[in-house]
Amino acid sequence: MQRNATTQYPILLIHGLFGFERIGHFELFHAVKEALQAVGCRVFVPHLSATHDNEVRGEQLLLQIDRVLRGTGSNKVNLIGHSQGALAARYAAALAPHTVASVTSVSGPNHGSELADVLRQALIPGELPEKVAQNVVTLFADFLSVLSGSVAMPQNALAALGALTTQGAARFNQQYPQGLPESWGGQGPDCVNGVRYYSWSGTLPDHSQPSLDPVEHICRKLSKYFKKDAGQNDGFVGRFSSHLGIVIRSDYPFDHLSILRGVSPARAVSPNPIELYVEHARRLQAVNL
């Protein structure tokens, strides 16, 4: 593990849709937080609504940024958002850039998710063949069955789903375009209003043998509903939809959740996803953030 990656500003790790404390045998952000703290970073995990739109979650984040600033004496924070957490981070940076040093999107649906489009259509009678709708909803329910933990915050699942569709993301992007690339699949500006923007994401790894990981198995099933990013997605988010600011890389061999997890000796991958966060702390440290 790399040493001496202390950042000037505290790091906030922001969860996405259905944020939770534990999934299966591991805790969300646990390995990431421990790795960052081990190299000297001050790390906080704000609690946001598990299901709500980007604006509501963004307002909750702004309040917690203020608490962190008061508690640490710092005048800015570094925001690292996974999945929908990236959009909450973008909202906070757009409204209060003087409090945000950087926004990093990890597998963020910055242009929406084709899966969210399918799920939203599945809730409208007659919009999809019954069998397709049933398969999608069942797979999504299977995925949620491995999640546990909740926070006493306002919830609105339909608002969350609408915000993650490509149409919902397009509306959000019209109001908060900071860091977005001008062309599909390109890179965005590295700095807007004094805030630096970064992103990285993954695509489903190519395995000749079926995975024993139930989460990856479900992600592979869900990936079949992508059209524009067919074969270029992590099961929840398309590769090019994730681009924001400086794109570090968007095809790491990770599904949507393994990008948060350490690897086991039985199934080592390179790079280790947790090391990416430490590398990023050094990246932020190098530009005095």
Residue 83 annotated in active site: yes
Q: Which helix (H) or strand (E) holds 78?
A: strand 77-82
What angle do the packed helices 166-175 and 157-164 form, to 10 degrees?
A: 80
Q: 103: which strand partners?
A: 79, 197
Residue type, 271: P
When computed from its CA atoms, the radius of gyration of the chain, rounded to whole angstroms, is: 18
Beta carbons of 20 and 50 less than 8 angstroms apart: yes
Tokens (6 digits) for 136: 């999608």
Please, what's the b/e burial string for 50-70 (b: 16 or more CB within 10 A of its CB; e: otherwise)? bbbbbbbbbebbbebbeebbe
Active-site choice (15, 52, 82, 256):
256
Residue type, 287: V
Active-site choice (15, 82, 83, 280):
83
Residue 66 annotated in active site: no
Pick from 249, 255, 252: which is nearest to 217 by CA? 255
Q: Parallel, antiparallel, or unpaired for β 195-202 and 22-23? A: unpaired
Q: Parallel, antiparallel, or unpaired for β 22-23 and 147-148? A: antiparallel
Active-site choice (53, 213, 234, 255):
234
Q: How many residues does the chain have?
A: 289
Q: Parallel, antiparallel, or unpaired for β 26-27 and 100-106? A: unpaired
Cβ neighbours, 10 Å, residue 285: 17
Give the active site residues.
83, 234, 256
